[in-house]
Structures are given as structure tokens and as C-alpha cells.
A and B are shown apart, each in its own frame.
Chain A
Amino acid sequence: MASTTNKSTSSNNFSHLPKRPLGKVRTDNSLFWSEEYIEGDPIDLWGRVIADWDDCLKKRPKYIKKLVRYNIPQPLRCLLWQLLSGADKQRYLIEGYADLLKETSPHEKTIRRDIDRTYPDHPKFSSPNSPLQESMLNIMKAYSLYDKEVGYCQGNAFIAGLLLLEMPEEEAFAVFVQIMRKYNMRELCKPNMAELAVCMYQLECLIEELLPDLHVHFQAQGFRASVYASSWFLTLFASTVSPDLATRIMDFVLAEGLEFIFRLSLAILSVCNKDLLKLDIEGMIMHFQKELTKYDSITVQVLFDMAFTLKITPKKLKKLEKDYHTRKAKETGDVELMKVSLMKYK
């Protein structure tokens, strides 16, 4: 099923990081670190899991998450992304792909205009008529036909491109569809982007709780999460960080869901907290534009370590989502009330 012929020839910059026996280091956090001790050749460890994937996924999901954090060897990434996203179970997507491409999409012109400028600095994408560009166009077109409600959302091509660095076009399409559906991304990408607003609210609340000083500063400056963090969520960081780092982020998103994007966002803010406190809105935006593109492997390790220890749980996110809708309903209610009283006044 999976072929690795198309995988990136450049070795992943972050794969050389020390493979630490994570289980030993952290025994405190039962949610993430309670599974058995992990050490040894990741290819062997993954080999055993892959051989018995369905059973492992059912019985030892925490162990799988832990293995992802430990390491994903580059040759296994193509297969593991399909397994983790569940795309391997959606054969019909791959089988129906060619038929989708025969149709015409109303978004084709817009997609075409963006394809040249997705990863403009990446040698595999930047050359005109590069096969990967054509594949990226095809995936975006097929998806806009497959999911007409979402159609084409600017930024999605960055995700598709990242998948194409690891796997053939049809498989990349299936994983892309899974990212949109299973990981809730399609809700963020719908034309009104209502769900993105929810994520931004959740992020702002988490900042308030975990980085209260920064929250006060952001409030004073009127610096809203949607200004700096929209692209973090909509492209899963792929438009802001190096492709190597984006690849590792994709590993975690596929294993842990969008929750990881919240974790990483908070970790990034936490690492540059002191710098941000000294800056105004413009300075902060420029800080993000500059810093995120040049993280070295040490900073990345610090960020990931921090991301995984932050107290962010699905339960907490769910509660914040509920809060958002309650507030929203109240606001709309207030507007309705105001309308009613204005009518009376007339």
C-alpha cells in the first residue's frame, strides 16, 4: 500500500535529536507518560506496532503516542501518517481520486494562482512545472470537489505540500481528507471560519490562565490571537516554520490532534514571553515573523518538551468551547434585546 519512493531525500533535521528514554524522565504525568519504558531502535519498536496496528491502536493508544514523541524514523513516516490519520482505512478515497480529477472545480483558478506561491523557497516546489506542484494542485482541486461546503481555503495547500514530501499523490489526498475530517480542520476552513474563532478564544483563555502577564500585555495592546495565530492553526504551522519542523509538528498533530497546536502555541509564547512583554503590536508581529522561521534544534526540543508538559486537556478545551458559545449566544441575545427596545422607542 504505502510506497516510500517519493519521500524527501534530505534527512529530517530534527531526527538526530537525542532519543531519550522518556518514560524514565517523566513518570509524574500519568496522562502522557505512564506507558512502559521506551528505549532502543525506533524502527524495531515501530515494526512491532505496525505489524499489529489495529490491536495496538485499540489497546495501547498511549504507547503509540509515546512512540511518536520518541521518534518517527523517516522511512516509516509515509506509512505512519496514513495509519495515524486512519487514511489506510479509507481506500475508497484513493480509488475515487482519479474520477474526482476528471471534474471541473469552480475554485481551480484561485487554486492555480496560489500553487506557485506555496513553499516558494523550497527547491522541490519552486521550479515551474515541478511534479509536486502539479500534485498539490490536483489534491486541492479534488478536495474542493469532494467537500463542496469547504471548497478551497487559502493555506490548505501548505498542508497538502507537506504530505507530498512524504508520500505519493493519492495517499496524500487520503491523509489530507482525514486531516480535514477527523481532526476538525474542515470546520476551521468553512467559509465563515466560525470554528477558527472558537480556537482563537480557547487560545486566549489558555494564555490568560498559563501566561497571565502576557495576557495583560496583549489586552493592553489590543493584540488578538487571530492576528498572529490564525496561520498557526490553518496551516498547522507549515506556512510559518521550516518544512523539517513542520513535518515533526505534523507527526504530533496526527497522533494527538489539534490539541497539539494549542500546546505548541502556548510553548512558543512562553519561550518568547519576556521579549514580547517589551514590544508593541507591530514589534510582536515582526518578532513572530522573524523568530519562528529560524528555530534551531535545541529551541525546538525545548518547545516540544514544554508543549507536552503544559496542562491542557481535552476536557479543558471542551469547557472553553462551551463558554465561547454561551458568551456568543448572550451577545447575540443582547443585540436582539437592543433591537427590540429600539423598536419600542420608535
Chain B
Amino acid sequence: MDEVHTTKVVLLGRTGSGKTSLIVRYISSVFSENVKPTIGAAFSKKTVQLIHGEERKQVVLAIWDTAGDERYESMAPLYYRNSSAAIICFDLADRQSYNKVDFWVKELVEKVEQNCKLYICGTKTDLLAEYGGPLKRAVGPTEVMAYAKKLNAKFVETSSKSNYGIDDLFKLVAADFAGFTLCEAPPIEDSLRLQEPNQTDVNEKSSCCF
């Protein structure tokens, strides 16, 4: 029997930054152009299986989705309280969305969520010109990386539409929580293979090394 751990993960970020889509893609392996705005909060969970040599761990990710509208900000502490990870999302093509990241970082630091690991997630890569999309990057990766480094946070880029980086992000969260260190990110071909949706089994396997 594997060790089973449960960890609370919260998604924060400006309205329209793609929080709900990210979760829907991860949980249900589907993408829909339009998901309902989250009012209040929503919840879902998924089990990640981590294997390192003889050691096996199961991490249940309890994922809280939050509202992006500024009006709901006062309720946010109800959701991020006792989270072990916060994924702060921003739309890579929207500067305003990126500007909001710092608000959430400060909020978490201020409310002394010390044990909460920070992940900064640039979303919607499929919309960027460099990936064949129509929009320009609103913020350069070096700027975000420098910012993330300062915070001791991790920076990832994802696309819920093309299913890029999503599984890797949540795997990373699970591995960090379990104290595993993931291998270097696999090349894109590999990660695509890894991300083929599994029809019957929501568990996923992930290999790790120290």
C-alpha cells in the first residue's frame, strides 16, 4: 500500500486568467473555450502517483478554484487558508493580469501562509505569436523568472487549450509536497505522450528522481 498524502492547492489570479480552464483540463482532460466565471469557489481533486525507485507515494491534490472578480477578494482567505501550494495564474498576453500576481503574493505573505509554496503560472501560451497564436506576450519570461526567483517561487507556462504544461505543473506541485524532486522537464514530445488522457483511471504515474 502506497503512502497517501492529501494536500490543499489553491488557484488565485485575475478574472479571465484561466484558473477554471486549467483545472478542468487537468481533471477532465477537456478544453472548452468558455467556462462559467467562478462565483465564490469550486473544488475538485485528483490523485497523483509518484514513484522513485522503491519508494511510492500517492498525493491527493485537493484543488480549490477561486473567483477572479475583485469583489470576491475579501472571501479569498476562506479558500487559501492552510494551503500548501498556491498557483497564481496570469494571462501571458495581458499585462493587467500579470500585475495582479504581486497582489496575491503580498496577500499570502501578509497573511503568513509560510508553508504555502508559490507557483506562478503564465496561461494561454497557444494565444502567443511564438506558438502560432494572434497575440503578443505582455510580459517577458526573464522578467517573470527574475520575479519568481526573488520569491523563491516556481514559474511555469501552460496552455489549457493545447494541453501544454498542465500535467507537469500539478505533478511538480505534488512532488514538491511529497519531498520528491522531479527530473528535468521532459522534452515536449515526451510530455505530450505522458499527457494522453487515461480513460478509466484518473491516477497518473510520474517518475521522479532526487
Contact in complex: A117, B41 (CB < 8 Å): no
Contact in complex: B36, A118 (CB < 8 Å): yes
Q: Chain B nearest CB: distance from A92 CB in Å?
A: 28
Interface residue ranges of A141-170 to B (CB < 8 Å) = 153-155
Q: Chain A nearest CB: distance from B89 CB in Å?
A: 14
Across chains A and B, the number of contacting residue pairs, with CB separation under 8 Å, is 73
Contact with B along A230-242 (1 / 0, CB 8 A): 1100110001000
Interface extent on A, as a size class?
Answer: 20 to 34
User: Knowing A230-B40, A235-B39 touch, does A116 contact B33 (C-beta < 8 A)?
Assistant: yes
Contact in complex: B40, A226 (CB < 8 Å): yes
| Contact among A117, A193, A282, A286 with B37 in the assembled complex (CB-CB below 8 Å) | A117
Interface residue ranges of A286-330 to B (CB < 8 Å) = 286, 289
User: Knowing A154-B71, A191-B71 touch, does A227 contact B78 (C-beta < 8 A)?
Assistant: yes
Is B99's CB within 8 Å of the partner chain A? no
Contacts of A126 in B (CB 8 A): 34
Q: What residue in chain B is nearest A115 (Cβ atoms)?
A: B34
Q: What residue in chain A is nearest B62 (Cβ atoms)?
A: A282
Is B32's CB within 8 Å of the partner chain A? yes
Considering the chains assembled together, what is the distance between the CA atoms of A116 and B33 in angstroms?
9
Contact in complex: A285, B35 (CB < 8 Å): no
Contacts of A116 in B (CB 8 A): 33-34
| Contact among A117, A189, A192, A234 with B74 in the assembled complex (CB-CB below 8 Å) | A192
Contact in complex: B15, A231 (CB < 8 Å): no
Contact in complex: A227, B45 (CB < 8 Å): no
Is B42's CB within 8 Å of the partner chain A? yes
Q: Chain A nearest CB: distance from B10 CB in Å?
A: 12
Contact in complex: B39, A231 (CB < 8 Å): yes
Is B67's CB within 8 Å of the partner chain A? yes
Is B4's CB within 8 Å of the partner chain A? no
Contact in complex: A118, B40 (CB < 8 Å): no
Q: What residue in chain A is nearest B21 (Cβ atoms)?
A: A117
Contacts of A118 in B (CB 8 A): 36-37
Contact with A along B76-102 (1 / 0, CB 8 A): 001100000000000000000000000
Contacts of A155 in B (CB 8 A): 37, 39, 69
Interface extent on B, as a size class?
Answer: 20 to 34
Contacts of A95 in B (CB 8 A): none
Contact in complex: B35, A117 (CB < 8 Å): yes
Q: What residue in chain B is nearest A126 (Cβ atoms)?
A: B34
Is A113's CB within 8 Å of the partner chain B? yes
Q: What residue in chain B is nearest A235 (Cβ atoms)?
A: B39
Is B72's CB within 8 Å of the partner chain A? yes
| Contact among A153, A224, A235 with B69 in the assembled complex (CB-CB below 8 Å) | A153
Interface residue ranges of A100-141 to B (CB < 8 Å) = 110, 113-114, 116-118, 120, 126
Contact in complex: A153, B79 (CB < 8 Å): no
User: Knowing A153-B71, A193-B71, A193-B74 touch, does A231 contact B40 (C-beta < 8 A)?
Assistant: yes
Contact in complex: B78, A239 (CB < 8 Å): no
Q: Chain B nearest CB: distance from A220 CB in Å?
A: 15
User: Knowing A192-B74, A227-B78, A285-B42 touch, does A154 contact B36 (C-beta < 8 A)?
Assistant: no
Interface residue ranges of B128-143 to A (CB < 8 Å) = none
Contacts of B43 in A (CB 8 A): 281-282, 285-286, 289
Is B44's CB within 8 Å of the partner chain A? yes
Contact in complex: B15, A110 (CB < 8 Å): yes
Q: Chain A nearest CB: distance from B20 CB in Å?
A: 9
User: Knowing A110-B15, A113-B16, A153-B71 touch, does A227 contact B34 (C-beta < 8 A)?
Assistant: no
Is B70's CB within 8 Å of the partner chain A? yes
| Contact among B35, B41, B70, B75 with A120 in the assembled complex (CB-CB below 8 Å) | B35
Considering the chains assembled together, what is the distance between the CA atoms of A224 and B78 in angstroms?
8
Considering the chains assembled together, what is the distance between the CA atoms of A28 and B15 in angstroms?
49
Considering the chains assembled together, what is the distance between the CA atoms of A110 and B71 in angstroms?
13
Is A32's CB within 8 Å of the partner chain B? no
Contacts of B39 in A (CB 8 A): 154-155, 230-231, 234-235, 239
19 A-B pairs whose Cβ atoms sit less than 8 Å apart in the complex: A116-B33, A117-B36, A120-B34, A120-B35, A154-B39, A155-B37, A155-B69, A191-B71, A192-B71, A192-B74, A226-B78, A227-B40, A230-B39, A231-B40, A234-B39, A239-B36, A282-B45, A285-B41, A289-B43
Q: A154-B68, A227-B75, A229-B40 are in contact. List 18 more A-B contacts (CB 8 A).
A: A110-B15, A113-B16, A114-B37, A126-B34, A153-B69, A155-B37, A189-B71, A192-B71, A192-B74, A193-B74, A230-B39, A230-B40, A230-B72, A230-B75, A231-B39, A239-B36, A239-B39, A289-B42
Cβ-closest 7 pairs across A and B: A154-B69, A230-B40, A231-B39, A117-B34, A120-B34, A285-B43, A113-B16
